Chains A and B, each alone.
Chain A
Amino acid sequence: MTTVLVLAERDSSNGTVKKTTLELLTLARRLGEPQVVWFGDQGSEAASVLGEYGASAVHVVGGQDMADHPVVPIVDVLQDLVAELDAKAVLVPSSADGKEAAGRLAVRIGSGVITDAVDINESGVATQSVFGGSTVVHSTVTHGIGIYTVRPNSVAPAPAPTTCTVVDVDTTASEAAKTARVVERTVAGKGGRPELTEAAVVVSGGRGVGGAEGFEVIEKLADSLGAAVGASRAATDAGWYPHLYQVGQTGKTVSPQLYIANGISGAIQHRAGMQTSKVVVVVNKDAEAPLFELADFGVVGDLFEVVPQLTDEIDSRSN
């Protein structure tokens, strides 16, 4: 059976398996038998859930030495395992680390690379949603093995239980890896909410929010839904909300099940970052706001009236 390598993504706060990893496994199974590459501790604890989603093995790369260097250790391990297992494809998350590792691996082993796939079929044809979601592209790797980075929320994780063997990878940082070293990791931003790029629900605010204090109503709605908070560039440029949360062409691309846009007019800049959301709800007092074109449900009205009422309704229904 063809082996497909999957790079695991772990929750940055508690180190457990992230949902994106299960999404990758679900896609990887279409191409062959997935085996997971896991950096850090808790690999053997993760084996049961990885096995539930079809991984026949998890290769655990322990050791602080490997964790202290960005990107290159991932490339080194993937390169070794591709050779050792004769892997025919590699799937990694579309994170900064994932994309850079995929790019370097492609150069190193002489393979094509496809980034930001939202789907991969049994023949290895990837679907990409480009130019801010305005164009859907099907592409294939035509040289070497298929290296893909896959966007979060691309596919619903589907279980396919098998037995997952834990394999310890005993290795140390290469000379290439040692050219850069992580000396400190800093947790910034607002904790307690799901990560923006992989949240199932995103609630965002724009120019219509009017100021930093206005984001309180956005955050309350987000918390009532267990959602992430996003912001348009107008709001982040004005300093009302941290830049880390900007959704758009030059910020984060999100593709949640539900996107609620409040006081966002919907310039291309913003649409490019959220156009592929499954269900879009728009609140804006300007009936001419272009974002209404993308709305599955829209309300023309004052967000400071509409949003708190919505939050109250949700809270009362869930109580």
Chain B
Amino acid sequence: MKIAVCVKQVPDTWAEKMLSAADSTLDRAAADGVLNELDEYAVEEALQVAEAHGGELTVVSMGPERAAETVRKALSMGADAGIHIVDDSLHGSDAIATSAVLAAALAGRGFDLIVFGSESTDARMSVIPAMVAERLGIAQLTFAQRVSLSGSDVTIERVTDYGFDTVTGSTPAVISVVEKINEPRYPSFKGIMAAKKKPVDTVTVADLGLEAATVGQAAAWSAVEDFAARPAKPAGTVVTDEGDGGSRIAAYLTEQKFI
């Protein structure tokens, strides 16, 4: 079985994120870049499928030069090979272009499963897996809290507001996984050493047969007009409980007409 896992380098989850004043794109220099937390679950799930059913796992990532670290991180967890799509023309790409680039990189390579995290912790759109499924014309089995395979049948539990839907499809399929589907492994020392020798294919937009003019900020189908830091909230009232803390909140909530 051939499995791909798509990962993204994002600013550290715990860092304050900001937009760049110059072009309103994510300021990647402002924080350390890490493997998107939700993608760690995707890598782990893909590894577990590969271990249980046999197969080869390829990490695919689109991002600037430094995203190579993120590809290595996934390789050190146990993936076999990497594809890093890096091209200056990609800067500022919207989800539409990103999905086109990923679909072009994934198409024709015979992947049975393409695994994603359910969202990135920076953009948080949750649309890329669905867009890639749309472009490739294959099954979309997303927001999975459980994945099981039997031959070419794939069954997932899709998280819903009320619980979950059991959804089935056949390979090839796009899967996205939610947080806590598994416990992602830490790269071992051996894994980190081995990752240095694993093959990573660096590809450009032209290599994928796409025109540079169709990606990047200028080609985006949505645009930021302006942005600003949320105005600081005026300081509220903080009191120390002297046996009447609950009553004082009740009084406040009454004043605010909540009760």
Nearest opposing residue in chain B for A95, CB measure: B161
Give the chain A neighbours of B52 by CB distance below 8 A: none
B165 touches A185 (CB 8 A): yes
Q: Decide if A181 is an interface residue (CB 8 Å cutoff).
A: yes
Give the chain A neighbours of B17 by CB distance below 8 A: 131-132, 134-135
Interface size on B, residues (CB 8 A): 85
A108 touches B246 (CB 8 A): no
Classify chain A's interface size. 35 or more
B168 touches A135 (CB 8 A): no
Q: Decide if B179 is an interface residue (CB 8 Å cutoff).
A: yes
Known: A95-B161, A179-B140, A299-B238. A135 touches B258 (CB 8 A): no
A310 touches B246 (CB 8 A): yes
Contact of A188 (CB < 8 Å), options: B126, B133, B162? B162
Give the chain A neighbours of B135 by CB distance below 8 A: 107
Give the chain B neighbours of A305 by CB distance below 8 A: 241, 243, 245-246
Describe A's contact surface by its main secondary structure. mixed
Contact of A133 (CB < 8 Å), options: B142, B173, B230, B239? B230
Q: Decide if B150 is an interface residue (CB 8 Å cutoff).
A: no
Give the chain B neighbours of A207 by CB distance below 8 A: none
Known: A71-B140, A136-B227. A179 touches B170 (CB 8 A): yes
Give chain B interface residues in 238-259, CB to chain A under 8 Å: 238-241, 243-250, 252-254, 256, 258-259
A283 touches B245 (CB 8 A): yes
Stretch at the interface among B1-9, B74-82, B106-114, B215-223: B215-223
Q: Decide if A219 is an interface residue (CB 8 Å cutoff).
A: no
Known: A131-B17, A250-B121, A299-B239. A112 touches B258 (CB 8 A): no
Give the chain B neighbours of A140 by CB distance below 8 A: 222-223, 225
Give the chain A neighbours of B44 by CB distance below 8 A: none
B134 touches A107 (CB 8 A): yes
Contact of B163 (CB < 8 Å), options: A99, A134, A187, A249? A187
Nearest opposing residue in chain B for A281, CB measure: B249
Q: Decide if A113 is an interface residue (CB 8 Å cutoff).
A: yes
A81–B5 Cα distance when bound, in Å, is 35
- B-side residues, CB < 8 A to A, are 13-19, 24, 37-38, 94-96, 99, 121-122, 124-131, 133-135, 137-143, 155, 157-170, 173, 179-180, 220-230, 233, 235-241, 243-250, 252-254, 256, 258-259
* Sample of 25 A–B contacts (CB below 8 Å): A96-B126, A103-B128, A103-B134, A104-B131, A106-B96, A107-B99, A113-B221, A115-B126, A115-B127, A130-B19, A137-B224, A139-B223, A185-B164, A186-B163, A257-B258, A267-B14, A282-B238, A298-B238, A299-B240, A305-B243, A308-B246, A313-B246, A313-B250, A317-B254, A318-B259
